[in-house]
Chains A and B, each alone.
Chain A
Amino acid sequence: MNTRTLHLLLTLTFWLVLTLVLLSALFALALPLLDEQLLTSWQVQLAETTKTEVILAGSETGLLLQTTQGELLLETSAFSLALSRALTILLAGGMVSAIIYFLRQLVADVSSGRPFSRRSASALQKTGYLLVTLPVVLFLEVFLRFYLFIPAASHNSEFNFTHIRLLSGSGNDVLIYPGFNITLLLAGCFVLVMARAFYVGAQLQTDNDEII
């Protein structure tokens, strides 16, 4: 694939992602106005595992089903949840759109035949920072959403930095572990190193241009 095609694809992707983000945010805001229930969920682990025996049909062999994980669902028609969801979509979607936009800028510089410029180095640096920030934002959003929307969350839970322990009345506590995308973080670090290399490249390019 040549750089012109890649640039065209990235332009299309950028506009597509931006349109989808805006439509999704508007959709999230419109749902409570249409009296639709909003659903929010958290991936959870059970503090105590429950074991159920499964007997296979036509056999006396029993299998043990061990339940350790699940999904905590909250259904609400509160406008605040719609607003929070719309903001999350705009924030995360905006970051993804910005990453695509900066990559598009980099591809444009590469196709111009002068990839080592301050503009491309700056675009790479911004992409790197966004890639590092994105998993952190998504990680923190899980905690924030929990404390904003679970009724009396501060009384019914323990905050442990890496997870929240939701104290259940029935004795089986539920642990909420927000997912952390380490791949995005590593990709961000790699892109930041590349950005540094591009800054050095841009300096060498300037030196080369000023030597006849």
Chain B
Amino acid sequence: MPIVVNLDVMLARRKMKMKELADQVGISQTNLSLLKNSHVRGIRFNTLEKLCQVLQCQPGDLLEYQEEKP
């Protein structure tokens, strides 16, 4: 998928663990892991809002568009 989720980068920058983030955002670790590995079809605005709030970043810091190679 051309949309890449840079959640692991942000977690490393904030020195935060997956479990900690999952607890603060209010979603399961499984779902967070799926999101981190770009194995989901989409993300709700309220989930994105909570992630940005907890990680103190902008949506653009978490999501990135990478053009697919032909």
Chain A positions within 8 Å of B, measured between CB atoms, are: 207, 210-212
Docked CA distance A212–B22 (Å): 12
In the bound complex, residues from chain B placing their C-beta under 8 Å from that of A210 are 40-42
In the bound complex, residues from chain B placing their C-beta under 8 Å from that of A212 are 27, 31-32, 34-35, 40, 42-44, 47
Main secondary structure of the interface of B (DSSP, over half): mixed
**Hey, what's the 0/1 contact readout for B8-45 against A, CB within 8 Å counting as 1?**
00000000000000000001000110110000111110
- What's the A-B contact tally at a CB cutoff of 8 Å? 19
Least CB separation from B25: chain A residue? A212
Least CB separation from A207: chain B residue? B41
In the bound complex, residues from chain A placing their C-beta under 8 Å from that of B47 are 212
Docked CA distance A212–B47 (Å): 7
Docked CA distance A212–B31 (Å): 7
In the bound complex, residues from chain B placing their C-beta under 8 Å from that of A207 are 41
In the bound complex, residues from chain B placing their C-beta under 8 Å from that of A211 are 40-44
Docked CA distance A24–B40 (Å): 54
Docked CA distance A211–B41 (Å): 6
Q: List 14 A-B contacts (CB under 8 A).
A: A210-B40, A210-B41, A210-B42, A211-B41, A211-B43, A211-B44, A212-B27, A212-B31, A212-B32, A212-B34, A212-B40, A212-B43, A212-B44, A212-B47
Least CB separation from B31: chain A residue? A212
Docked CA distance A108–B40 (Å): 28
Least CB separation from B28: chain A residue? A212
Query: Lowest 10 A-B CB distances belong to which pairs?
Result: A210-B41, A211-B42, A212-B31, A212-B40, A212-B35, A212-B43, A212-B47, A210-B40, A211-B41, A211-B44
Least CB separation from B41: chain A residue? A210
The smallest beta-carbon distance between B18 and chain A, in angstroms, is 14
In the bound complex, residues from chain A placing their C-beta under 8 Å from that of B42 are 210-212
Can you name 7 extra interface pairs (CB under 8 A) apart from A212-B31, A212-B34? A207-B41, A210-B41, A211-B42, A212-B27, A212-B42, A212-B43, A212-B44
Chain B CB within 10 Å — which of A207, A210, A211, A212 has the most?
A212
